[in-house]
Amino acid sequence: MVSGMRLKGWIEVDGRRLSDGEVEKMLEERPGVVSSFGGEFFLSWDGCSARDHFGIVPGDCPAGSIVCDGEAVGAVDPRPPELSLAQAIEIAVSLRSDEGVVALSGGVDSALVAALARRECVVVGVEGSHDIEKAKAVADVLNLSLKTAIIDPGRIEEALEAVLAVIPRQNPVDASIAATLYFVAEWAGDHGYERILAGQGADELFGGYARYLDADALGNDLERDFRGLALQAARDQAVAGLFGAYFSLPYLDVRVVRKAMAIPPEEKVKDGIRKRPLREVATMHMPKDLAYREKKAMQYGSGMMREMKRLARRRGFGKVSDFLEEIGRR
Same domain for 46 and 92:
no
| Amino acid code (one letter) for 129 | S
3-class DSSP state of 278: helix
Same domain for 64 and 24:
yes
Alpha carbons 109 and 282: distance in angstroms, whole number? 9
Residues 205-247 have pLDDT tens digits of: 999 999 999 999 999 999 999 999 999 999 999 999 999 999 9
Looking at the predicted structure, is the pLDDT value of residue 263 above 80? yes
> What is the band of 152 on the pLDDT scale with cuts at 50, 70, 90?
very high
319 domain residue, yes or no: no
Alpha carbons 218 and 275: distance in angstroms, whole number? 13
Same domain for 228 and 123:
yes
80 domain residue, yes or no: no
Domain that holds residue 205: 85-305
The answer to whether residues 277 and 266 touch, using CB atoms and an 8 Å cutoff, is no
CATH of the domain at 177: 3.40.50.620
Same domain for 156 and 33:
no
Same domain for 234 and 200:
yes
Same domain for 16 and 113:
no
Spatial neighbors of 298 by CB under 8 A, at least 6 apart, are 105, 131, 177, 180, 304
Domain termination residue (choose one: 23, 53, 75): 75
Spatial neighbors of 245 by CB under 8 A, at least 6 apart, are 185, 188, 189, 193, 194, 195, 196
Tally of domains in the chain: 2
261 domain residue, yes or no: yes
Same domain for 95 and 71:
no
Looking at the predicted structure, is the pLDDT value of residue 249 above 70? yes
206 domain residue, yes or no: yes
326 domain residue, yes or no: no
Same domain for 299 and 166:
yes
Same domain for 116 and 218:
yes
Please give the share of the chain, as a percent, with pLDDT higher than 70: 100
State the average pLDDT over residues 142-169.
97
Same domain for 178 and 98:
yes
